[in-house]
Amino acid sequence: MLARILSSAIIGLDGVPIEVEVDIASQGLPSFTIVGLPDKAVEEAKERVRSAIRNSGADFPARRITVNLAPADLPKEGPSYDLPIALGILIGSGQLKADVSTSIVTGELSLDGRVRPVKGALTYALLAKDKHATLFLPAENAAEAAIVEDAEIYPVDTLQSIFLHLSNQQLIERFPQVDFSAREEQQMFEYDMQDIKGQQQTKRALEIAAAGGHNILFHGPPGAGKTLLARTLPSILPRLTFGEMIEVTKIYSIAGMLGKDTRIGKRPFRSPHHTTSLVGLIGGGSNPRPGEITLAHRGVLFLDEFPEFPRFMLESLRQPMEDHLVSISRSNGKTTFPAKCMLVAAQNPCPCGYLGDNTHNCSCSSSQLIRYQKKISGPILDRIDIHVHVPAVKVEKLAEKDENNVENSTTIRKRVQQARDRQLARYTGTTLTANAELRNKDIKKFCELTDDCLNLLRLAVGKFQLSGRSYYRIIKISRTIADIEGVEEITQDHIAEALQYRPKSQNTLS
């Protein structure tokens, strides 16, 4: 007898319907075969399903069992096919009579029949809603899946419970929808702007970067506070919108990094070490998985000790920084991951860290300086909107008592949020959410400049030998500065301040 159960696979960040076909033949020697490009975890489902069915009080048929996971040319991985395979065997053997044609089933089985949680529950729920199907999934994943509006979610604790539900003996109660509104919550941060001594210009640059979603590079001597400033950035970032929450939660759900949370309520901050692999940073693998740049989507990717990352890894960031996407091509297809994040980088001016410092002598040779500067290419530097020097703070400033006039992160975050709200209102009806996402054609539409501003820009481009990309990035930074001040018109003052954050020469690091 043939039974069909609908399940799902995750390709990239999207759910793909998988039809689990179970054929139980009355002739031939008893066997259990799974076909359809299963990986090792799917192959091992045979033993889990066999034990789960027996320990749940049902009979495992001693017949020739063939399971096909269609489409057959799509690789299948993970233990999420255990539950649909078990149901298919129960239906195919005649022990369960049920109509599951409008249902999607997923879940890992333990040997005693309990249903264990799986990755990507939010993706399964979005697919079920799109297909107008009922979703049966592990009870531990129900709260995560139920944030999808109008999704019909049924939490499954055991194989026996779904058997009783489908046979109308003991119905499972539908899981209620979880409120996933984008309300502002009280968030606690480890670092606060009020605790950073001095560095007023750097704080201003950080505020502009947060307000517009701009990439930023800190360079300065060791101990100046570059890392501390970067780690304080989350405390002034604007709140996630509802759509952004869904995007980020979906990524972390697929990566299996949600933990006990049903959603990601604040912007992610990722800080990979410079020894991380290319796949770990960009994403990939035989079955592509998101890397750090995708895990930082709608948040911050912080690369400390920027020149210590291998040059080929930094060059691999060029396309994602420009297109906000990571495209991974394999022989069996192409996978695309989102990568719309702020890049925050920190570096020393030279290997010893004291080039140009008035209090320490630089001990680096000319060849060392050249090698160090060549680690970061001009195209990478050109893609970073804001370049800011972080000078060493004098000990007198560090020893000062707390000043009442120093702004804390809450005050700065309010300005940043107001600036981002203006951007969201301006870009209503488009896919844009921040000034950093503006393309050249968008700049002409949303960043109208006066003749005086254009003249100042022309003078700066000629004097500093700025590239065309730098020209447009200066306009985007100026747009953000105007938004922080709450004005619609970009003035010469905004252009002048934006010019301070571009390096005078694209061929030097400082």
Task: Tell me how crowded residue 13 is: count the other CB atoms within 10 A of its CB.
Answer: 22
More confident residue, 499 or 181: 499
- Same domain, yes or no, for 53 and 198? no
Q: What's the rounded Cα separation, in Å, for the pair 13 and 104?
A: 18
Give the chain's domain count: 2
For residue 404, name the pLDDT band (cuts at 50, 70, 90).
low
Contacts of 458 (CB under 8 A, 6+ apart): none
For residue 233, name the pLDDT band (cuts at 50, 70, 90).
very high
What's the pLDDT score for residue 509?
35
- Same domain, yes or no, for 272 and 402? yes
User: Residue 471 domain-assigned?
Assistant: no
Q: What's the rounded Cα separation, in Å, for the pair 338 and 323?
A: 9
User: Residue 20 domain-assigned?
Assistant: yes
CATH number at residue 338: 3.40.50.300
Q: Are 474 and 502 in contact (CB under 8 A)?
A: yes
Helices (H), 62-147: 82-92, 121-130, 142-145
User: Residue 456 domain-assigned?
Assistant: no
Q: Are 227 and 355 in contact (CB under 8 A)?
A: no
- Same domain, yes or no, for 97 and 156? yes
Mean pLDDT computed over 256-285: 90
Give CA separation, 427 vs 184, 423, 430, in Å: 21, 6, 6
- Same domain, yes or no, for 411 and 277? yes
Q: What's the rounded Cα separation, in Å, for the pair 138 and 115?
A: 6
| Entry pTM | 0.89
For residue 7, name the pLDDT band (cuts at 50, 70, 90).
very high
Residue 232, H or E segment? helix 226-232
For residue 45, name the pLDDT band (cuts at 50, 70, 90).
very high
Task: Tell me how crowded residue 485 is: count the other CB atoms within 10 A of its CB.
Answer: 12
Helix axes 121-130, 242-254, angle to 10 degrees: 120
Residue 11, H or E segment? strand 2-11
Q: For residue 344, which of 220, 211, 217 has the smallest C-alpha distance?
A: 217
User: Residue 448 domain-assigned?
Assistant: no
Whether the pLDDT of residue 185 is over 90: the answer is: no
CATH number at residue 91: 3.30.230.10
For residue 403, name the pLDDT band (cuts at 50, 70, 90).
low
> DSSP letters of 238-249?
PPPPHHHHHHHH
Q: What is the pLDDT of residues 436-494, one digit of tens each?
A: 999 999 999 999 999 999 999 999 988 888 888 889 999 999 999 999 999 999 999 99
Residue 203, H or E segment? helix 200-212
265-269, 463-467, 500-504: least confidently modelled range: 500-504
With 0-12 / 13-18 / 19 or more C-beta atoms within 10 angstroms meaning exposed / middle / buried, residue 164 is: middle
Mean pLDDT computed over 385-397: 83
Whether the pLDDT of residue 71 is over 90: the answer is: yes
Q: What's the rounded Cα separation, in Å, for the pair 464 and 130?
A: 53
User: Residue 127 domain-assigned?
Assistant: yes
For residue 271, name the pLDDT band (cuts at 50, 70, 90).
very high
User: Residue 506 domain-assigned?
Assistant: no
Q: For residue 249, which of 235, 239, 234, 262 has the smallest C-alpha distance?
A: 262
- Same domain, yes or no, for 260 and 377? yes
Beta-sheet strand order (sheet of 64-70): 31-35, 64-70, 14-25, 2-11, 103-105, 134-138, 152-156
What's the pLDDT score for residue 508?
37
Residue where a domain stops, chosen among 403, 435, 467: 435
The CA-based dihedral angle spanning residues 387, 388, 389, 394, taken in that order and rounded to the nearest 10 degrees: -170
Residue where a domain stops, chosen among 113, 148, 166: 166
- Same domain, yes or no, for 67 and 142? yes
Task: Tell me how crowded residue 27 is: count the other CB atoms within 10 A of its CB.
Answer: 6
E strands, 27-129, are 31-35, 64-70, 103-105, 108-109, 115-116
For residue 106, name the pLDDT band (cuts at 50, 70, 90).
very high
- Same domain, yes or no, for 87 and 207? no
- Same domain, yes or no, for 160 and 229? no
What's the pLDDT score for residue 396?
63
The token pair at 352 is 């010893």
Q: What is the pLDDT of residues 333-363, one digit of tens each?
A: 788 999 999 999 999 999 998 888 888 889 9
> Average model confidence (pLDDT) for the chain?
91
Residue where a domain stops, chosen among 405, 435, 465: 435
For residue 197, name the pLDDT band (cuts at 50, 70, 90).
confident
Q: Are 316 and 328 in contact (CB under 8 A)?
A: no
Q: For residue 85, which of 30, 133, 41, 140 has the smallest C-alpha distance?
A: 41
Q: What's the rounded Cα separation, in Å, for the pair 348 and 221?
A: 6
> DSSP letters of 351-403?
SSS-TT-SSS-----HHHHHHHHHTS-HHHHHT-SEEEE-PPPPHHHHTSPPP
- Same domain, yes or no, for 139 and 244? no
Domain of 399 in residue numbering reads as: 193-435
10-19, 414-423, 500-509: least confidently modelled range: 500-509
Three-state SS annotation for 332-365: CEEEEEECCCEEEEEECCCCCCCCCCCCCCCCCC
Task: Tell me how crowded residue 277 is: count the other CB atoms within 10 A of its CB.
Answer: 12
- Same domain, yes or no, for 103 and 197? no
User: Residue 492 domain-assigned?
Assistant: no
Please give the radius of gyration of the chain, using alpha carbons only, rounded to the nearest integer.
Answer: 28
Whether the pLDDT of residue 69 is over 50: the answer is: yes
What's the pLDDT score for residue 399?
64
Task: Tell me how crowded residue 37 is: count the other CB atoms within 10 A of its CB.
Answer: 15
For residue 286, name the pLDDT band (cuts at 50, 70, 90).
confident
Angle at 199 between CA 195 and CA 201, to 5 degrees: 130
Q: What is the pLDDT of residues 315-331, one digit of tens each?
A: 999 999 999 999 988 77
Q: For residue 186, which of 264, 257, 265 has the smallest C-alpha distance?
A: 265
User: Residue 472 domain-assigned?
Assistant: no
For residue 112, name the pLDDT band (cuts at 50, 70, 90).
very high
- Same domain, yes or no, for 101 and 201? no
Whether the pLDDT of residue 184 is over 70: the answer is: no
Q: What's the rounded Cα separation, in Å, for the pair 110 and 114?
A: 5
Q: What is the largest CA-CA distance in the chain?
A: 89
- Same domain, yes or no, for 158 and 269? no
